[in-house]
Structure 1
Amino acid sequence: MSDKKPNYFMQSVAETLDQLGVESCSGLSQAKALQIKEEIGPNRLQAKKKKPVYKILLSQLQDWLIYVLLAAVIITLFMGEYIDSVIITLVILINAGIGTFQEVKAGKAIDALLKMSSPKALVKRDGQTKEIDSAELVPGDLVILDAGRVIPADLRLIETVNLQIEESSLTGESLPVHKNAEASFDNTKMPIAEMANMCFMSTVVTAGRGAGVVVETGMNTEVGKIADLLDTNVHQKTPLEKKLSELGKTLGKIAVAICIIIFGISWIQGRDPAEMFLISVSLAVASIPEGLAAIVAVVLSIGVTAMSKKNAIIRKLPAVETLGSVNIICSDKTGTLTLNKMTVTEVYTSEGPILIQAANKNILSESVRILTEGMILCSDATLENEEATGDPTEIALLVLGDKMKIDRTDLLEKNQRVGEYPFDSNRKMMSVLIKSGTDFTVYTKGALGSLYHVAEFIFDQGEIRSITAKDKQNFSDAARKMSNNALRTLALAYKSASSDMTSDEMEEGLVLVGLVGMIDPARDEVKPSIQLAKQAGIKTIIITGDHKNTAFAIAKNLKVADSIEQVLTGPELEELSEAELAEKVENYRVFARVSPQHKVQIVQALQAKGNIVSMTGDGVNDGPSLTVADIGVAMGITGTDVAKNAADMILTDDNFSTIVVAIEQGRNIFNNIKKSVIFLLTCNLGEVLVMFVTLSLGWPVPLIATQLLWINLLTDSLPAIALGMDGDDSDVMQEKPRDAKESFFSQGAGIHVVLGGILIGLITILAFWYGFYELGYSPFDKQIPEEVVKNARTLTFLVLVCSQLFYSFGLRNSKKPFYKFKIFSNKFLNGAIALGLFLQLSLLFIPFLRNAFRLHMPDLNGWLMALALGLIPLIMLEISKIFLKKRK
């Protein structure tokens, strides 16, 4: 067998068989098949060698934030703070565990493809037909096809009889494709969906029969190429992961710098090196928000739980934040924007058009009755109790009968099919001979143009008369109008017949009755969802395997596209270079007749323009694009396992509007995370400033190591998490999508952290000074009694904790003053603040704890000073909001 791999769809049947060295009458010999299998391997999709779980776990630890946390573990162990060390270690392990689980889960996309591709195959070898495992197939094997069979490999068809194959999971086509073994093509860039003489692995035979010769197996098949795309695309970090990584690097550097500077200052001042080393490392711990990773994980987990109740299941936690940055939703048409269910929406007879949405028994005229009954009798589909089998087009005709109040069971009992002239792609029609009592009738359905050649009469106003040019013009105009609205048309004719009529005689002298128009309709909820997304600055783009006109008609109906110039087809896309596509991609709103590779190209071109892209889909063909998109969204009901495992999010209701709900939730979750980050960094900056300024001035140490760690424990946990659990902001969808490159410190957040930290630091330094002043001392004094230092540290301790806890109230909304939102609606924050104050007071009122933390019971002035100074940062924050609001 030659090593050359030609485009088999361009060859004739004889050329293909000769190329593969096989006889159509006998097939390959068993010995030859085994020899080929030894050379090329089994017909099975092969996933690349998986990374061991321990390596995945180690890769989760290779992050700057994790490095900083590990440093904090070492520091706290050195200080003997074993409980804190255990907590930080647990945070590291939990986050690494979550990341490992998600990465292992994502690898199941390939496993789903493997399961899809191992059906049984009916083959002819050594002149005998036998059923074998599809893994045993090799190029050159002759495969027999019949209805219900899964195609076991890529085949060049050598025989077809009314063969129809469902390829929607591979090509995006909403209808089964009619296959013709005798077809040949000369276009080397022929789309898969138009290769009528080929069929592909994992697609399904829905009607007819045929035979084909295997031309590609395993990873060389079209579905194999998709598996390869899934397996080789590198997962990109989400914006949240990148931001946390950058923040971790910054904090790590700051922590190291603080240790060096403080220790250096202490050395110059002549302080005790051992004591100052302990203070330095304590301050390093204070400057690192070690609860950040845990807080982000908790907030994301809470968000995921809330989203699951709204029919959106998140498979990868960081994807929740990415949703808030999405500015383009690329959606597959079939089954995502549409119902994936052909529906007759209009019929036309000589009496004129009738819209089926308004149809009822009262409009069932004689011509409409004959049209509907004829279509039912020409159907091989079944429909009972909403369970359907067969061609979706024929199922739609049965549904039409139900809408017209026709008793299909009674109709079929009284009319028996006794003859048939099957459909073929040359005639483009099929005929059945029906016996009713002693009468015989022929019903023929097919393309209107084909019926013109065999129809000599027309049914008009209850009478049969000769058809005229005007009649044909009227029917053609009606068909054209339907086609312009993306309706697929099907015509019906009939005539009285005899029992011994030949096939050719069945299609002579027919009476044209009418025309039906059908479509895979858009979901009712899609249009308002697209408009809501548009208001939020999110553009919807349709990417489909369907024909250009059909895709545009749906897009126009949904107000996604305005003109046909906004549609680009797969073949047209291939004419563009990568640079040209990147330049022009945002001009298009619809991409039609595209392959899986095209979808990936489109998503990558949009990303190259700085867009954050969400891709929705449900089929095998959507897997690669779901993987490469920033957010891959799979349909939970109609979606394949491949699509679900490749996606970041799964819609359990297959509802496009759920995507918009998820985006709103994603925006709110990011805002909540941002609140927590700002709160943590503001508080930690205040702590650092207090320590740095007082030590630089030569004052006594304002907070000892245990006090610093207690403050961190109190403010880096419950209040920060509670802020992350804040309720949804109703105004969030009035804003444009957040720039994915935007840091946590954009839009004034950085200034907020600096000014808030400085303010908390300054009032705490003031409290420290007042603790000396109140008892008649100055922090500059050389000899200060221990009780005076305790008093100053106690006020410092109280003011720092109170100011941070109260400050968290104002951070619930960065723009609205507290009286503009329900201040007590966040019960978690209220509880965190109350618990924080209770624990803080417990240290003072329980003698054992007061002594352990070296505190002093304040007098009335001390308590009033702590309360007054503690409220100042919150008051200043609220004043700044009012000022900025009036300024805008």
Structure 2
Amino acid sequence: MWFAKSQEEVLRELNVNPATGLSSQEVQTRLEKYGANKLKGKPKKSLIALFFAQLKDMLIYVLIGAALITLFIGEYVDSIIILLVVVLNAVIGVFQEFKAEKAIEALQQMSTPKTLVRRNGEVVEISSEELVPGDIILIDAGRFIPADLRLIESANLQIEESALTGESVPTEKIAQETLKDPKTPLGDQVNMAFMSTLATYGRGEGVVVGTAMETEIGKIAKILDEEIDEMTPLQKRMEELGKVLGYLAIGICVLIFVISFFQKRDLFEMFMTAISLAVAAIPEGLPAIVAIVLALGVTRMSKINAIVKKLPAVETLGSVNIICSDKTGTLTQNQMTVVKYYTLNDLQEVPREGSGFNASLQEKDLMKTLVLCSDATYEHGQGTGDPTEIALVVLGDRFNLGKKTLNAEHKRVGEHPFDSDRKLMSTLNEEDRGYRVHTKGAIDNLLKISTTALVEGKVVPLTEEMKKEYLRMADEMSDAALRVLGAAYKDVDTMISPKEMEQDLTLLGMVGMIDPPRLEVKDSIRDAKLAGITPIMITGDHKNTAVAIAKELGIAESIEESMTGAEIDELSDAEFSERIGSLRVFARVSPEHKVKIVKAFKSHGNIVSMTGDGVNDAPSLKNADIGVAMGITGTDVSKGAADMILTDDNFTTIVHAIEEGRNIYNNIRKSVIFLLSCNLGEIIAIFFSVLFFWPVPLLATQLLWINLITDTLPAIALGVDPGDKEVMRQKPRDPKESFFAHGAGVRAIIGGVLIGTLTLVAFYVGLREYGYSLGSMAIPDDVLTYARTMAFVVLAASQLFYSLAMRSATKSIFTLGFFSNKYLIGAIIVGLLLQLTVISVPFLSSAFKLQMLSLRDWGIVLSLAVIPLILKEIYKTFLRRS
């Protein structure tokens, strides 16, 4: 606890003379002992490790088993095809994770901050990674603090610590303070400066007491090492589906053998048939298709400024119904802005946009004083210094009272710096005839040292009634969460001492400022609410300020919907969990509170997203179902903990990402239901032919062709179906909801039965043309080949046409737009051409045991193939009317 030790104790313990700093030799020794001043990241997985991680899936295990069995019985083509699917799926997963990590690394490739350090008696600028405990650091406005420091000197030093504490207002630092209470919170440790915070005002010196993982930021980073490896809803659905299909495949194989045994069929032939049914039962392309659809979704999301680190996180977004968002820099702009200014009996609002506004002479005097009595700068849209003073300079700039111009016209010749006791700052500036004192600070303190006031351009005595009116207006501004700052002046003939500056002043007025909300966030919050998502504000700021912002944004309606960290501590976990549903704002909270809030929401079955950019957000980002970090202002620690990173730091992007996540899940669901309908049709066609002792209408290689080529293209095209515009008018999907909810399972069965039945009908028609029936014995091979070709075409073409009907459960293809999914139309055309190719090209037809059909039979098979699509569209019409 360095803050509890005196400066002398700290310097003695670290064995350093602040006047000369460490020697080069001592630095090298300590560097070897403590290591580089850099936060440690988790070791990266190798490409091999990433590859094998993709294979940990029940469906993959079943496919590998099927490949080994087919290899054992000499069906090498089948084995190769199945293994190619497995490898393709793994490669896609590895590539996407690798690409996402590279994108994240690119975000983190920012230049290493430089640091002024005293070594060997000289001040030098070095990389912050080279710092060691005992180094003497020089601090000035605009520099990041490179390590944890015990301050040994400070002059009006203020440090913005929002990345660590959540406070948007800088903390005043006093090096001479020695804090005795060992439980002093970070925000109150005024004699310390912490890594990754920013000096905004004044100057100081400090001795390094902690580097890398031994800093306060490092301690938070250690929390993140605790792995929370919970599967996303999509992963759970796919694992369950894989198990069901795997058990189904095994069950079908056993059933076939039992039936074959009693039918006294050739056991080897029936083993091949069983393998065919197993192949039919398992949609081999499913894992690859889901990965491809997710990967394409991730690519689309990157175009809307959202980088997803892991594929399944895309789908998780679609289930989110709680967004816990940090206020500072996420919902607000993280920059103080003057929104109101007041002269006696005249309150004015600063226009939200534009510049060059008209103002009275008195109002210009007010702004002139505020600008000249500040040390901040603002040029070309960039400000340096204290955020409050930057806001004042920006205000002057918008009224054509630029800081640079005023400084040139009214040179500063004296000053009385700000301190926390007076809560005032004064400067003495040259005027045409003499000098003018400009003073700004707390309005109540200004009223004590002012004797007159400027009212409508005239100096009049400051009466008690006037003072009450000023205080009333200040209270009104404070209640609206505005930070109030007053201004006063006096003209003098000669230069005066700092003490004389703050006597007998003339009060000008005051301004109210706030860290304003992002302009686009209000609309995004409204959209989120319409989509059944509850936005929650979590901040380290004061309760009134937080609630005022929350009201403006539409997050909360009253202060009863808010709670502070201290109030959370008074409740047990059960009591807090009981109250969590009625709360929308959490103020003055610590990182531990944030984690507790996320867990309380999750305990009610909510899918929780946590949005933030500071180091203090990282633990809650990790504990949330999906953590969303800011790419520009976010710290490396928060990016490492998050599932998704916003490259534009825009809260609105989250709402777009949720919409994208919902559509991606819906598209995956379409693909899965489509594949299962098609494969069920294959199962029905083969199973019933075995059950009734008919010839098998399709061979294993023919099924593989249909599954891997004909199914895959339309399934992927469904996966990139244009998003439903009404998806954000629906409530978030229950993550426990099955793929087959809302009648999807029934529709899949009906579709499968239709496809399977029509395949058998086509097989029957093919046999009938040569005088044979399904029950005939000793059917010639050429007749079987012709009949199987007809079944083959119907099975493939009916699936291709049926994909059009799968785009929506209720809307017709004409309402959606027949050509609105050009990829799907292309997939159908390509699929039909592939079918024609494999039938008409001699060596392919020979390999797949197929032959060319007559023109009449092409008409029959295509007419049969379009029936499932027509019946589905008719059913939708009745559904819409009911």
Settle same-fold status: TM greater than 0.5: yes
SS at match of 2:240: helix
1:651 has 2:646 as partner: yes
Measured in 2, the distance between the counterparts of 1:130 and 1:864 equals 86
Do the aligned residues in 1 keep the contact of 2:100 with 2:309 (CA within 8 Å)?
Answer: no
2:255 alignment counterpart: 261
Do the aligned residues in 1 keep the contact of 2:565 with 2:593 (CA within 8 Å)?
Answer: yes
1:531 alignment counterpart: 526
The Cα offsets for residues 16-48 of structure 1, whole Å up to 9 and x where unpaired, read as 659958799779987999998887666543345
Q: Give the share of equivalent positions with the same residue, in percent.
A: 52
Deviation at 1:530, TM superposition (A): 0.8
Measured in 2, the distance between the counterparts of 1:100 and 1:733 equals 28
The Cα offsets for residues 684-713 of structure 1, whole Å up to 9 and x where unpaired, read as 111112111111211122212222222223
1:691 alignment counterpart: 686
- 549-558 or 430-439, which deviates more: 430-439
The Cα offsets for residues 467-492 of structure 1, whole Å up to 9 and x where unpaired, read as 22211111111111111222111111
Alignment of 1:628-639 (within 5 A): 628-639=623-634
**Which of residues 676, 685, 699 is equivalent to 1:681?**
676
2:577 alignment counterpart: 582
Deviation at 1:850, TM superposition (A): 3.9
**Which of residues 242, 245, 265 is equivalent to 1:251?**
245
Alignment of 1:414-563 (within 5 A): 414-497=409-492, 499-563=494-558
Deviation at 1:557, TM superposition (A): 0.5
> Which structure 1 segments of 5+ residues have no match?
1-5
1:315 has 2:309 as partner: yes
- 374-383 or 865-874, which deviates more: 865-874
Whichever residue aligns with residue 458 of structure 2, its letter is E
Measured in 2, the distance between the counterparts of 1:314 and 1:475 equals 52
CA 1:785–1:407 in 2, change beyond 3 Å: closer, same or farther? Answer: closer
Deviation at 1:864, TM superposition (A): 4.6
CA 1:370–1:118 in 2, change beyond 3 Å: closer, same or farther? Answer: closer
- 505-514 or 531-540, which deviates more: 505-514
Alignment of 1:113-262 (within 5 A): 120=115, 122=117, 143-181=137-175, 191-262=185-256
Whichever residue aligns with residue 173 of structure 1, its letter is E
Deviation at 1:724, TM superposition (A): 1.3
The Cα offsets for residues 113-138 of structure 1, whole Å up to 9 and x where unpaired, read as 9x89875463589x998877766766
SS at match of 1:205: strand
The Cα offsets for residues 782-805 of structure 1, whole Å up to 9 and x where unpaired, read as 333334333432332222122212
Deviation at 1:377, TM superposition (A): 0.9
1:91 has 2:85 as partner: no
Do the aligned residues in 1 keep the contact of 2:373 with 2:439 (CA within 8 Å)?
Answer: yes
Do the aligned residues in 1 keep the contact of 2:711 with 2:800 (CA within 8 Å)?
Answer: no
The Cα offsets for residues 412-457 of structure 1, whole Å up to 9 and x where unpaired, read as 2221111111111111111111122450221111111221222222
Deviation at 1:570, TM superposition (A): 2.6
Do the aligned residues in 1 keep the contact of 2:337 with 2:515 (CA within 8 Å)?
Answer: yes
The Cα offsets for residues 256-301 of structure 1, whole Å up to 9 and x where unpaired, read as 2222322333233222233222222232222221111221222223
1:570 alignment counterpart: 565
2:287 alignment counterpart: 293
1:81 has 2:96 as partner: no
The Cα offsets for residues 501-550 of structure 1, whole Å up to 9 and x where unpaired, read as 22211111111111011112112211111111111101111122222211
The Cα offsets for residues 806-844 of structure 1, whole Å up to 9 and x where unpaired, read as 211111101223343212322221122222222223344
SS at match of 1:357: coil
Measured in 1, the distance between the counterparts of 2:484 and 2:6 equals 32
CA 1:435–1:107 in 2, change beyond 3 Å: closer, same or farther? Answer: closer
> Which structure 2 segments of 5+ residues have no match?
none
**Which of residues 708, 732, 735 is equivalent to 1:740?**
735
CA 1:205–1:260 in 2, change beyond 3 Å: closer, same or farther? Answer: same
Measured in 1, the distance between the counterparts of 2:249 and 2:95 equals 27
2:655 alignment counterpart: 660
SS at match of 2:866: helix
Measured in 2, the distance between the counterparts of 1:596 and 1:106 equals 27
CA 1:140–1:45 in 2, change beyond 3 Å: closer, same or farther? Answer: same
Do the aligned residues in 2 keep the contact of 1:156 with 1:214 (CA within 8 Å)?
Answer: yes
2:63 alignment counterpart: 69
Alignment of 1:588-667 (within 5 A): 588-667=583-662
Measured in 2, the distance between the counterparts of 1:234 and 1:405 equals 54
**Which of residues 743, 757, 772 is equivalent to 2:752?**
757
Whichever residue aligns with residue 561 of structure 2, its letter is Q
Deviation at 1:367, TM superposition (A): 1.9
2:51 alignment counterpart: 57
Alignment of 1:844-883 (within 5 A): 844-855=839-850, 857-858=852-853, 862-883=857-878
Measured in 1, the distance between the counterparts of 2:622 and 2:171 equals 28
Query: Structure 1 length normalisation: TM-score?
Result: 0.91
Do the aligned residues in 2 keep the contact of 1:124 with 1:143 (CA within 8 Å)?
Answer: no
Do the aligned residues in 2 keep the contact of 1:26 with 1:128 (CA within 8 Å)?
Answer: no
Whichever residue aligns with residue 387 of structure 1, its letter is Q
Measured in 2, the distance between the counterparts of 1:590 and 1:857 equals 71
Deviation at 1:886, TM superposition (A): 3.4
1:379 has 2:368 as partner: no
1:3 alignment counterpart: none
Measured in 1, the distance between the counterparts of 2:258 and 2:99 equals 45
Whichever residue aligns with residue 314 of structure 2, its letter is V
For these two proteins, the number of residue pairs brought into alignment is 877
CA 1:349–1:261 in 2, change beyond 3 Å: closer, same or farther? Answer: same
1:725 alignment counterpart: 720
Deviation at 1:171, TM superposition (A): 2.5
1:327 has 2:344 as partner: no
CA 1:388–1:21 in 2, change beyond 3 Å: closer, same or farther? Answer: closer
Whichever residue aligns with residue 323 of structure 1, its letter is L
Do the aligned residues in 1 keep the contact of 2:97 with 2:311 (CA within 8 Å)?
Answer: no
Do the aligned residues in 2 keep the contact of 1:233 with 1:628 (CA within 8 Å)?
Answer: no
Whichever residue aligns with residue 411 of structure 1, its letter is L
Do the aligned residues in 1 keep the contact of 2:629 with 2:638 (CA within 8 Å)?
Answer: yes
Measured in 2, the distance between the counterparts of 1:796 and 1:132 equals 76
- 310-319 or 178-187, which deviates more: 178-187
CA 1:190–1:703 in 2, change beyond 3 Å: closer, same or farther? Answer: same
SS at match of 2:85: helix
The Cα offsets for residues 61-97 of structure 1, whole Å up to 9 and x where unpaired, read as 2222322332344355441216624632441331342
- 730-739 or 594-603, which deviates more: 594-603
**Which of residues 822, 834, 839 is equivalent to 1:839?**
834
